[in-house]
Amino acid sequence: MKKILMLTLSMFFCFSMGLMAVGFTYFNSPTPSSDIVETLTKAQNRTVQTKLKKWGYYKGAVDGIYGAQTKAAVKLFQRKNGLTADGIVGPKTAAALGMSLGGTTSSTQSSSDLNLLARCVHAEARGEPYVGQVAVAAVILNRVRSASFPNTISGVIYQPWAFTCVNDGQINYTPNDSAYKAAQDALNGWDPSYGSLYYYNASTATSKWIYSRKTVVTIGKHVFAI
């Protein structure tokens, strides 16, 4: 009798664990997060440089380029003013400098294209060599230019079933520095894939059709093709 009891209880235990597992996989879909540090615009950098120069922290040119010298000057300013010396002009440092970060008079725009491209690169090719990441970004841009694909970056990336990372939600992961740089390079015209429109992982690709495309180059695990 005890055995039957134990059996029933253990069956129930397994059953509830199974239920939990179902619930866990069901609700554990990737959630978006966005903790990207916003960088300053050139105009804002110029304001920072002008102010720091006036107060003797900065000796370089007021060129709006946030280079090493500017960063060092910002760090010095932060140390002298009891702020965290990270070299980043955040809200606190900006307030101490007497400038506002939002609402600049000139028109600035956020790089949502760059961000989207970086997200796709990160989700599709993290762990690949850097050049492989640039090539993935280049394929997306080649598609934008191609007649056979949509004509915007978001159109290409969100085309149904075009990228697995959109289907499984990995597109919403925050991209790392390398993905950003790769996206930036591709936007600047780099294309190590020489006009490729497709790429696939030769060991996991399931579509037979993809093998009929002409291979251009293999970089890391990805085969790039036209």
User: Which residue in 85, 88, 191, 205 binds another protein (CB under 8 A)?
Assistant: 191
Exposure letters 203-224 (e unless 16+ CB within 10 A, then b): eeeeeeeeeebeebbebbbbbb
172 interacts with another protein by CB under 8 A:
no
Q: Measured between alpha carbons, how far is 76 from 152 in angstroms, rounded to an integer?
A: 43
19 interacts with another protein by CB under 8 A:
yes
Stretch that binds another protein, among 77-85, 88-96, 99-107, 120-128 (CB under 8 A): 99-107
178 interacts with another protein by CB under 8 A:
yes
Q: Running DSSP on this structure, what letter comes out for residue 198?
A: E
Which is closer to another protein, CB of 99 or CB of 226? 226
Amino acid (1-letter code) at residue 174 = T
Which residue is associated with the tokens 């009929």? 212
Please state the closest distance from residue 73 (CB atom) to another protein, in A.
12
Which is closer to another protein, CB of 81 or CB of 167? 167
188 interacts with another protein by CB under 8 A:
yes
Which residue is associated with the tokens 């059953």? 15
Stretch that binds another protein, among 47-55, 78-86, 88-96, 152-160 (CB under 8 A): 152-160
Helices (H), 158-210: 164-167, 177-187
How many residues sit close enough to another protein to count as binding (CB under 8 A)? 75
Please state the closest distance from residue 96 (CB atom) to another protein, in A.
22
111 interacts with another protein by CB under 8 A:
yes
- Backbone dihedral region for residue 201 (phi beyond 0: left; psi -120 to 50: alpha; all else: beta): beta
103 interacts with another protein by CB under 8 A:
no
25 interacts with another protein by CB under 8 A:
no
Q: Measured between alpha carbons, how far is 62 from 55 in angstroms, rounded to an integer?
A: 14
User: Which residue in 116, 134, 139, 165 binds another protein (CB under 8 A)?
Assistant: 134
Please state the closest distance from residue 111 (CB atom) to another protein, in A.
5
Closest CA to 76 of 101, 56, 105: 56
